[in-house]
């Protein structure tokens, strides 16, 4: 059997010969994970006075990370969170390498029905702050710039209400560019505050 050869371009050879860029990448991810830990603490303060169902409150928050969401590293903070096969409530804060930071309210099942009237009443606030909605296709698409996300500025409140009642899931999300990394935690916390205000 003939052994496969390794063929690297000059750019690839330059990268594979230099460990510094991987070490820098690891340092960046560690820094963002630490910042998400601080963000989690601030989120806890924010919701401490909000009345949420006990089933949601008792699950707490969780930070996860990985190397390959559509080929790129990611870090996620789910807080608050409640996941079963049929019922989901989560506010997900996400860093996606090279793409964006985002905050998403993900609802399905009983929690979608539970919060639909409150979200409908908050439509104009969500619309004003450029939130987007996903409600069809693949439920686990996290790319807020994907075509499955529709700006709330493109729909009317009546259609929003219909979606909340009839769709099998809804995701209401806002994002900010990676180039805003130095102010990202403030932006993400503001997005979180708006979503919490919409459901309280």
pLDDT at 2 (0 to 100): 80
Specify the DSSP class assigned to residue 180: G
Tens digit of pLDDT for each residue in 106-148?
999 999 999 999 999 999 999 999 999 999 989 999 999 899 9
Phi-psi region of 132 (alpha: psi -120 to 50; beta: other; left: phi over 0): beta
Q: What is the pTM of this model?
A: 0.93
Q: Where are the domains of the chain?
A: 10-199
Contacts by residues 120-124 (CB-CB < 8 Å, ≥ 24 positions apart) = 120/157, 120/160, 120/161, 120/164, 122/197, 122/198, 122/199, 123/152, 123/157, 123/160, 123/161, 124/157
| pLDDT beyond 90 at 73 | yes
Q: Report d(CA 80, CA 53) in Å as an integer.
A: 11
Tell me the CATH number of domain 10-199, given options 3.30.70, 3.40.50, 3.30.60, 3.30.930: 3.30.930
Question: Average pLDDT in the 155-175 region?
Answer: 97
Nearest of 43, 85, 86 to residue 63 by alpha carbon: 43
């Amino acid at each position: 059997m003939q052994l496969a050869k390794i063929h690297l371009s000059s750019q690839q050879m330059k990268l594979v010969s230099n460990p510094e860029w991987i070490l820098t990448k690891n340092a960046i991810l560690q820094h963002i994970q630490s910042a998400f830990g601080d963000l989690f603490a601030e989120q806890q303060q924010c919701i401490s006075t909000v009345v949420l169902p006990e089933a949601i409150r008792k699950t707490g928050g969780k930070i996860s990370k990985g190397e390959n969401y559509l080929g790129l590293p990611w870090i996620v903070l789910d807080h608050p969170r409640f996941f079963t096969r049929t019922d989901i409530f989560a506010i997900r804060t996400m860093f996606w390498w090279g793409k964006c930071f985002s905050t998403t309210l993900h609802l399905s099942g009983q929690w979608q029905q539970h919060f639909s009237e409150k979200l409908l009443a908050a439509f104009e606030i969500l619309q004003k702050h450029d939130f987007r909605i996903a409600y069809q296709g693949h439920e686990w698409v996290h790319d807020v710039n994907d075509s499955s996300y529709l700006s709330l500025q493109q729909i009317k409140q009546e259609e929003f209400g219909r979606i909340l009642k009839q769709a099998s899931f809804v995701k209401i999300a806002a994002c900010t560019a990676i180039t805003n990394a130095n102010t990202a935690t403030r932006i993400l916390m503001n997005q979180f505050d708006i979503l919490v205000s919409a459901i309280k």
